[in-house]
Structure 1
């Protein structure tokens, strides 16, 4: 069975651990993430998360069997700095991904100290709340070249037939200086372009995405593109397959348009 790939707009900070306070803002995202196990129909052997919150000079892979936690946010309640998401790592998968990338000409390094950042644990907790599926994180590469990340995604494609779920964790709109009504127009313009682009035939879709800076409001939606780059990787891993939109909101945080995308067919309708 070939698993689909996902680009997830992962929300803000440690939101799944604050549902009593913010549940009204995150109900739709939470429901979409909790539905992923039903969509894929099987428990994956492991999850490979391409995280917007990790960049290296070369591609990096978390290779600990027991990854620690990274609380890479500020201004949240004290209990969110004690959150534990104890999913195991998979040194074996990390080594396999390293080999795949290097066979394709991309240097990759293992990092046995790297912990789960909030782009990983906040996205994965609703999907696998029991933390019982191994997770390996893959960094972005400095320079944030879209073609490089698309190519790496292509190299990862064989993992999908080996029971590995490939997830890109980012955000389709990520301008923290306009993360409110001020960003409404830009987020809607960019989201509309994304939706249209994802519906194009595969070759045209990839070509358009490589030119994302020419999209309407592109640099307002992404002053820095690290939260968009995971999309390039998961698209590359399912480049010939149709896109779907498992999550979309027009009024996230009251005003913003945000989306997640799935590539490849789900097991369940």
Structure 2
């Protein structure tokens, strides 16, 4: 396969510019081989101001109390099984982000949130798979933090606490999947539960219906099929909290739409 041209570097982040808050559907390791999706992610990042650092919240790291990953470069976490060998050779050697970690500790410990350090915990595939496509130079410091809960309200509160980082040039990224039920993908094509939930979620976000989103399991069509376990929708609430705290919920745009292997790859930018 002929390599795609390298995407343009993100525009510099002028001092005082608030960074957007993102929610992205991150894809499995084979995302790199998709003919469309990598280009969509690259085009998205090319239109962003250049972050001073990136804070990642991935569906693939649940840890309580909230944990800070490696603040210096550490081996990636290949948290998947049964894939061809070349997916385990991917590298993403971004600089560590000790200053960002210090800022996160300060923001979270002030209101009494417990924080722990796991210094050898590298980026998992929910973090590095999209970063390889969006920031391939790996020259921006990256810090991953865990989700200490799957409770949408508590995750929104976490996002609100982290929101001041956006004014310091930090790109806050919630990385999940807008629909995610691998066990129910029994046939070729996109299942009705995935399209129904995607349309419902799109409308709820467009209308700013946070109450319905927070109670999505009960209020959405096919909610329990689209997310039989909610870890892939949960990072959205960190992003929503960071956007709400800065008054950016209405400044929303859908950056990636469509489906991949039957799952909604809807991704969002606030601000």
TM-score, scaled to structure 2: 0.87
Change (3 A) 1:84 1:38: closer
The equivalent position to 2:182 in structure 1, one of 173, 176, 179, is 176
Deviation at 1:14, TM superposition (A): 4.8
> What is the match of residue 267 of structure 1?
none
Query: C-alpha distance in 1, partners of 2:53/2:30?
Result: 22
- Does structure 1 residue 95 correspond to structure 2 residue 102? yes
SS at match of 1:237: helix
- Does structure 1 residue 217 correspond to structure 2 residue 222? yes
SS at match of 1:168: strand
Query: C-alpha distance in 2, partners of 1:134/1:103?
Result: 24
TM-score, scaled to structure 1: 0.88
Count of paired positions? 249
Alignment root-mean-square deviation, CA:
1.6
Unaligned runs of 5+ in 1: 265-269
- The within-5 A match list for 1:78-89 is 78-89=85-96
> What is the match of residue 236 of structure 2?
231
> What is the match of residue 3 of structure 1?
19
- Does structure 1 residue 245 correspond to structure 2 residue 254? yes
Q: Which has the higher helix share?
A: 1
SS at match of 2:108: helix
The equivalent position to 1:155 in structure 2, one of 137, 147, 161, is 161
Deviation at 1:105, TM superposition (A): 3.1
> What is the match of residue 38 of structure 2?
30
Find runs of 4+ consecutive structure 1 residues off by over 6 angstroms: none
